[in-house]
Amino acid sequence: MIERFAIPLALIALIVVPLIIYVRWRFRRVHHLSLLMSDTRLHKRHAGTGRARLRHLPLVLRILVIAILALALARPQSGTRMHEVTSEGVDIVLLIDISTSMKGEDFRPRNRLEEAKVQAAEFITKRENDRIGLVPFAGQAYTACPLTLDHDLLLEFMTQVRMGVVEDGTAIGSALATGANRLRESEAESKIMVLLTDGDNNAGSIDPLTAARAAASLGIKIYTIGVGKEGKVPYPYTDAIFGKRYQYVETNLDETTLREIAAASGGRFFRAQNSESLADIYREIDQLERTEISSVERIDYNEASTLFLLPAVLLLVCEFLLSHFVLRRLP
């Protein structure tokens, strides 16, 4: 697609040249008519022939050639638009509890872990200019995906997060330390961790509050999300005779520690007791951690003049053949 002409003045030829050719054509026509009137028999012999009907075609072709060359001289250019994001955005690490307690089905039709994955994935799709990493944890924490702008890859890793990959337990301190280690070298304008869990710290050798304070010293803000309803929650288990069954277990969320972790880093604590509230929490964090993204549109122009030269050459060849071979005997 032609975006612009680099030398638009060359387009004047589209008006001036046809006028000059028209004047010349009128002059030649008057001259030919005078010759034909002087020899009526010659006029009758040629008037009805196919060649006579083609006598104006060379001039038409010549006009087209000049018009196309004028367009080529004007240097038509096509443009490719590119948007350059100039802000550094936010670096985010998602810490997701994958202990067996996340099997609780108080978020039906999904269990806690699957609902957490769905809402985290929705959050990721809204942060297209931010680097995001993923750290699942149970009795241990591990990096499933380092900080990346390739959110399609990150979402693929998210689908693979499941229980049973590491030993069971809830090592909140280890998760915070692993996430902070991922953000330690970050130069982003804002660095945050989003910790989601349904339990209390009962594994690992790192104290959660100590890890939170260390993260805060690195400029990392921590948002904590406690998931699960209060009271007894249905947990599925497999019975050898009756198949899938449920037992009701009291929730053991340590809300106090989660509040202290958030406060130590300047973050906030949220409580999600159903799917709607969890979705609202991720939306609120999304709004809280927004940086102004400035973008610059850059257009790279490519020369398109050569596209006009081939048609011009072909028309010029046709005009030459008509004038010097097909119509060469025509007065």
pLDDT of residue 29: 63
Instruction: Tell me the three state secondary structure of residue 308.
Output: helix
DSSP collapsed to 3 states, 214-255: HHHHCCEEEEEEEECCCCEEEEEEEECCCEEEEEEEECCCCH
Instruction: Tell me the three state secondary structure of residue 262.
Output: helix
> φ and ψ at 168, to 5 degrees?
-75, 160
> φ and ψ at 12, to 5 degrees?
-60, -30
The residue extents of the domains of the chain are: 2-81+299-326, 87-288
pLDDT of residue 42: 47
pLDDT of residue 157: 96
Nearest residue to 198 (alpha-carbon basis) of 109, 286, 115: 115
State the CATH class of domain 87-288: alpha beta
Cβ atoms of residues 301 and 78 within 8 Å: yes
Q: What is the mean pLDDT of each run of 10 residues along the chain (331 residues)?
A: 71 70 67 55 51 67 78 75 62 96 91 96 92 96 95 96 95 97 90 96 95 96 94 85 84 93 96 94 91 62 72 77 66 48
Residues across the chain: 331
pLDDT of residue 249: 87
Cβ atoms of residues 10 and 74 within 8 Å: yes
pLDDT of residue 30: 62
Whether the full predicted model's pTM is greater than 0.85, yes or no, is no
pLDDT of residue 180: 97
pLDDT of residue 330: 44
Residue type, 307: L
The helix or strand, by DSSP H or E, that contains position 5, with its residue range, turns out to be strand 2-5
pLDDT of residue 238: 83
> φ and ψ at 204, to 5 degrees?
80, 165
